[in-house]
Amino acid sequence: MTHLGNPVITGSSLEHTNIGAPASPGPVTTAAATSLLGRGWVRLGLGLVLPALILLAWQLSTAAGVFSPVQLPAPRAVLEAGTDLISRNELFKHVGISAQRVILGFLAGAALGVSLGALVGLSKIAEVLLGPTIGALRAVPSLAWVPLLILWMKIGEDSKVTLIIIGAFFPVFTTVSLALRHVDRNLVEAGRAFGLKGLKLLTTVQLPAVVPSLFSGLRLALAQAWLFLVAAELIAASMGLGFLLTDSQNNGRTDRLLLAIVLLAVLGKATDALLGLAEKWAVRRWS
C-alpha cells in the first residue's frame, strides 16, 4: 500500500541533499582564527603590514619624482638625518626630555583626574558644583593655555609640564566620573555590609569595578599628553621633539621634521603598549 502522507526525511537523505553545498565556517574554525590572532607575534606581524606598505609607497613616490626632496625626502634621507643627530649627541636628548615631560605630566594629570573624577562620580553635590565648570574648561584648545601659562609660570619646565597635565586630566576625569555613576549598587551595598566606607570603599570596591573604563581613560590621556607635548614645547623650548619639529620647519629641514613625526608616533605607540600590558594585569587582578 502506498503511503500518501508527508515524506519522511531521514538523516542519510538529508546528508545526500547537502552534498556539494559549500560548508559554512563552524565554531571550531572561528575559535582557531581567534586563537591565532590572539598570539603576540601574529598580531605584531599583522600590525606591521600597513606601516610597511606606507613605507613602500613613500619610497616609490620619492624614487619616481612625484614629490621634490623638499616636499617629501626619501626614507633614507630621514634615516641619515637621525644618524646625524645621534652623532651630534642630540637625538637622544630630544627624546629623553620629551619623554620626561610627558611622563611627569601624564602621571600628575591622571592622578588629578582620578581624584576629581571619583569625587564628581560619587557625590551629587560635587557633580553640581564642579561638573559644568570642568566641562566648559575641557573645550578650551591647548594653544589657548600657552600665553596664560607663560604669564603665570614664565618659560621654564613648570609651564610645559602644566600644559601636559591639563591635556592628560580631562580624559581620565570624564571616564572615571561617568563609570563610577554606573557601578552596581548591589556591589557597593555588599562592600558597606563588610564595614567598608569612604576611601576604603572606593579603593577596594568601586575603582576595581571600573578598571576597564579607568584604563580607557588613561590610554586616552596618554595619547593626549603626547599631543599636548608639541604645544608645550612651543613655550620657548630649546630641547625636545616638539622643538625639533618646529625648528626643522623654520629651517626648511623636512627630513628632520619627518624624523620628529615618526619618533612621536613610535614613542606614543610604545608607551600605549606598556599601558596596555598594565591594563591586562589590572583586569586579571581585579576583575
Domains of the chain listed by start with CATH number? 75-286 (1.10.3720.10)
Residue 233 to residue 149: CA distance in whole angstroms: 12
Residue 45 to residue 202: CA distance in whole angstroms: 40
Of 54, 104, 12, 115, nearest to 261 (Cα)? Answer: 54
Of 170, 181, 179, nearest to 220 (Cα)? Answer: 170
> What is the average pLDDT across 69-84?
92
Using 50, 70 and 90 to split pLDDT, how confident is the model at 23?
low
- Please name the amino acid found at residue 110: A
Cα 168 to its chain centre, rounded Å, is: 11
The residue ranking higher by pLDDT, 217 or 18, is 217
Residue 41 has pLDDT above 60, yes or no: yes
The pLDDT of residue 57: 92
The pLDDT of residue 36: 57
Of 210, 265, 220, 221, nearest to 241 (Cα)? Answer: 265
Q: Are 104 and 162 in contact (CB under 8 A)?
A: no
The pLDDT of residue 181: 87
Which helix (H) or strand (E) covers residue 205, if one does? none
The residue ranking higher by pLDDT, 97 or 188, is 97
The pLDDT of residue 3: 43
Q: Lowest-confidence range among 1-5, 122-126, 199-203, 273-277?
A: 1-5
Of 259, 183, 186, 172, nearest to 217 (Cα)? Answer: 172
Residue 142 to residue 68: CA distance in whole angstroms: 33
Of 95, 88, 87, 55, nearest to 72 (Cα)? Answer: 55
Q: What is the pLDDT of residues 221-241, one digit of tens each?
A: 999 999 999 888 877 788 999
